[in-house]
A = this chain, B = another copy of it.
Amino acid sequence: MTVSPPPAPAPPTAPGSVLTARHPLVDGHTADAPLLAAYRGRRPAHRPVWFMRQAGRSLPEYREVRRGIGMLESCLMPDLAAEITLQPVRRHGVDAAILFSDIVVPLKLAGVDVQIVAGTGPVVASPIRTAADVAALPPLDPDALAPVAAEAAAVVAELGSTPLIGFAGAPFTLASYLVEGGPSKDHRRTKTLMHAAPDVWHALAAWVADVTGSFLRAQVLAGASAVQVFDSWAGGLSRPDYQRFVAGHSAAVFAAVADLDVPRVHFGVGTGELLTAMRDVGADVVGIDHRVPLDVASERLGGAVPIQGNIDPALLFAGRDALHAHTLDVIRRGASAPGHVLNLGHGVPPDTDPDVLTELVEFIHAQPSA
């Protein structure tokens, strides 16, 4: 598979326009999409399914086009990133694309020296730990988001009636990379900043929320029909800490796209304790990891919130019978929510056999939709 140029017109380039002007291709093209029906609590024509990290290392065509190209570099090459975004839609027939990117892309576009190191993850050259560090963080020039808008527009032009989901990281997870300097198991420097210098923490989280909110908004204006905000590390926080230090900043990200009328999904790993708190920052849909059965999650959310999830990725390796039985259990438990989009409870493991995913999509689509 090769990288094809996008047939769509070039994205708008006037200063600031990626954050203010809606792309002309957007209106109504995904109106009947099963994904959006479920996200809005309406009955979909068939059971929608997509997979977190569906675009990525599990696909040979991904490994082919990424060869020799760095992760963040690939995210900022609109044609390549659009091709990668589309690959799993073509191969698996999933009900949505999600923008191929990385949560640190907006930090890089703002001028932060961040790299993705293979086997490690994001590494920040100069960690942000003092009031002076925070004050020196540059504002994000909206023009810098042009490659992101171009990628989204190219994807939307190819997708037809299949929705594109916009993608962004939440302030806690992003700020933790900035404070720790890279991935951390216990987030001790981040928690130290929160508890020992809360003013500095809040200033940093507010900056991050502004940057990642702009990143998300650019994607919707370029044609994304929904958004998902990933707070990957929020599960390491107690609820009181989440409420005190995080919720307000996550709310700012959701508010950045509130006027654009797209369903907003919020997801984190190990966040069973935080489900209602994560809803309350402005999410229309809550993604559930594999630890909380969907009937329990839905009850915790008052039976009033569409949900997404939560096939255990480990079961992708357990053989078809066990995977099907588990998937039927997930569908059964999800029926208590007003809408349910099938997904994994975590990202696709890189060594997943892609044929297992394709077959799983077929199996899910063959199940009655209500």
Residue numbers of A with Cβ under 8 A of B are 186-189, 191-192, 195-196, 235-240, 270, 272-273, 290-293, 296, 312-319, 321-322, 325-326, 329, 346, 349
Please, which residues of chain B bring their CB within 8 A of the CB of A314?
A: 186-188, 191-192
Looking at A186, A316, A317, A325, the one whose CB has the most chain B CB atoms below 10 A away is: A186
Copies of this chain present in the complex amount to: 2
Other-chain residue from B188, B238, B325 in contact with A317 (beta carbon distance below 8 A) = B188
The reply to whether B273 and A322 contact each other, CB–CB distance below 8 Å, is: no
Q: How far is the CA of A272 from the CA of B195 in the complex (A)?
A: 23
User: Which 5 pairs from chain A and chain B are nearest by CB?
Assistant: A188-B314, A195-B322, A192-B318, A191-B314, A196-B322
Please, which residues of chain B bring their CB within 8 A of the CB of A270?
A: 235, 270, 291
Report the minimal beta-carbon distance from A241 to chain B, rounded to whole angstroms: 8
Please, which residues of chain B bring their CB within 8 A of the CB of A238?
A: 290-293, 312
The reply to whether A192 and B322 contact each other, CB–CB distance below 8 Å, is: yes
Report the minimal beta-carbon distance from A192 to chain B, rounded to whole angstroms: 4
Please, which residues of chain B bring their CB within 8 A of the CB of A237?
A: 291
Please, which residues of chain B bring their CB within 8 A of the CB of A292?
A: 238, 273
Q: How far is the CA of A268 from the CA of B318 in the complex (A)?
A: 25
Report the minimal beta-carbon distance from A247 to chain B, rounded to whole angstroms: 15
Q: How far is the CA of A329 from the CA of B238 in the complex (A)?
A: 12
The reply to whether B273 and A326 contact each other, CB–CB distance below 8 Å, is: no
Please, which residues of chain B bring their CB within 8 A of the CB of A189?
A: 317
CB-nearest residue of chain B relative to A193? B318
Report the minimal beta-carbon distance from A198 to chain B, rounded to whole angstroms: 10
The reply to whether A195 and B239 contact each other, CB–CB distance below 8 Å, is: no
Q: How far is the CA of A187 from the CA of B345 in the complex (A)?
A: 14
CB-nearest residue of chain B relative to A319? B196
Please, which residues of chain B bring their CB within 8 A of the CB of A296?
A: 239, 273
Q: List 24 A-B contacts (CB under 8 A).
A: A186-B313, A186-B314, A188-B313, A188-B317, A188-B349, A189-B317, A191-B312, A192-B317, A192-B318, A195-B315, A196-B318, A196-B319, A196-B322, A235-B291, A236-B291, A237-B291, A239-B293, A239-B296, A240-B293, A240-B329, A270-B270, A270-B291, A272-B273, A273-B292
Q: How far is the CA of A272 from the CA of B235 in the complex (A)?
A: 11
CB-nearest residue of chain B relative to A272? B273
Report the minimal beta-carbon distance from A119 to chain B, rounded to whole angstroms: 14
* Given A191-B314, A292-B273; A196-B321 close (CB under 8 Å): yes
The reply to whether B239 and A318 contact each other, CB–CB distance below 8 Å, is: no
Please, which residues of chain B bring their CB within 8 A of the CB of A315?
A: 191-192, 195
Report the minimal beta-carbon distance from A233 to chain B, rounded to whole angstroms: 12
